[in-house]
């Protein structure tokens, strides 16, 4: 029986030391707009975002744009299969909330 590939697969994940949070747009902050954006990113074997799509909008285009602008710049530890980096697809939730 061959070993499971799941045990030798490491999923892509953000590199927090190189990724800054999305900017909360001033207009959205002033109007009290909050929401969550769910993004799907295609990550290269080098850990770079190759493509990005919105799976679920926050309901506010300005928040969606801020999330996509930030995540496009992010770097990831790439997925590894059998110790070799490979491209992958990940879902990334981005939450915009205001604390009073």
pLDDT confidence of residue 4 = 43
The pLDDT profile of the chain, 100 residues, written as one tens digit per residue, is 444 444 456 778 888 778 899 999 999 999 999 999 999 999 999 999 999 999 999 999 999 999 999 999 999 999 888 889 999 999 999 999 998 6
pLDDT confidence of residue 15 = 83
- Cβ of 1: how many Cβ atoms within 10 Å? 3
The Cα 43–Cα 41 span in angstroms is 6
pLDDT confidence of residue 99 = 84
pLDDT confidence of residue 40 = 95
Question: 5-96, superfamily in CATH?
Answer: TonB (3.30.2420.10)
Domain definitions of the chain by residue range? 5-96
């Amino acid at each position: 029986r061959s070993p499971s590939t799941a045990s030798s697969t490491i999923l892509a994940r953000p590199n927090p030391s190189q990724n800054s949070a999305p900017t909360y747009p001033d207009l959205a902050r002033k109007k009290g707009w909050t929401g969550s954006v769910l993004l799907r990113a295609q990550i290269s074997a080098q850990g770079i975002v190759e493509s990005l799509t919105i799976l679920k909008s926050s309901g506010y285009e300005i928040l969606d744009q801020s999330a996509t602008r930030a995540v496009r710049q992010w770097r990831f530890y790439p997925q590894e299969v059998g110790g070799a980096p490979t491209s992958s697809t990940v879902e990334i939730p981005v939450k915009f909330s205001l604390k009073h």
